[in-house]
Amino acid sequence: MIFLTGDVHDFIENAWEQQKINEKSDLNSAEKYLRILEEYKLKATLFINGSLLDKYPEKIRNLLKYDIEFGGHTYNNFGKMNLFKSYLNRKRFECVYGSKEYQEKDIKKTKLAFGNLGLQMRSWRTHAFASNEETFGILKDNEVKFVSDLLGEQIPFEKSGVMHMPINIPVDQNTIAYGELKPENRDPFAGCTKGRIKPEEWFEILKKRILENEKEKKPSIILIHPMTMEVLDNFDLFKKIAKFLSEFESKKISGFSTK
């Protein structure tokens, strides 16, 4: 079983991917991504900033013609975040997302943006995976049922009324987009946040992991960013990935069931 997800961001200051193709958000990349998924009859969940729903309601409605669902991804990537503010939040709150009060305000604002378009916010991924236990409690109180924030070789699990869907396939950005190539990072089962390898090697790892999960009857929860795939090679690799993924049943995150 495949649970393909992507993250779709509003403008992020100094985001090199957006700068490289002169975009002010990830929305155009998201539509190109979804056209490919449609060709291969794949379902997906896109975790999206609430600010994009408020700014571009018609574009959002257009994306909903594809076989997807939207989940929350903070309202606007923590606002004007910088390294110093990130450091302070970690120091004061042990969480980049900030105080409980800030998180509550941000999650409710994102939920409202969904509601303004007649959408339910049933799933969530905090930008940069920056959740803590307080986050999960706030999400439960706001009727979010599924959270996909954790990284690692875990199977989905329920805790305190929230179903956690850990990303158990190495993430594209963490694996291929940044850093130097190192031999020690070529282990196919290295931790999700370690790799710095060539895109083709990452694809081989992705295939091997998914085949192992299928053999063991485990769901494969995948994060592939639309913007990263466009900047990498104008979606050429992603088309190969989609063709491979089409061999398996795919579901949206909210379609997960333990039954």
- Interstrand relation of 162-164 and 157-159 (parallel, antiparallel or unpaired): antiparallel
pLDDT means per 10 residues, the chain with 259 residues, are 97 80 91 98 98 97 97 93 72 87 97 98 96 95 97 91 95 69 52 63 93 96 95 94 98 91
pTM here is: 0.92
Per-residue model confidence (pLDDT) at position 188? 47
Following CA atoms 120, 122, 128, 131 in sequence, which dihedral angle do they give, to the nearest 10 degrees?
A: 120
Determine the pLDDT at residue 177.
54
- The pLDDT of residue 124 is 98
Return the SS3 of 30: helix
Q: What CATH code is carried by the domain that includes residue 128? A: 3.20.20.370
For 175, the domain range is 2-255
- Please report the pLDDT score of residue 255 as a whole number: 96
Contacts of 33 (CB under 8 A, 6+ apart): 6, 226, 229, 230, 235, 238
Take residue 192 and report the two structure tokens written for it: 């999700």
Instruction: Say how many domains are in the chain.
Output: 1
CA 28 to chain centre: 16
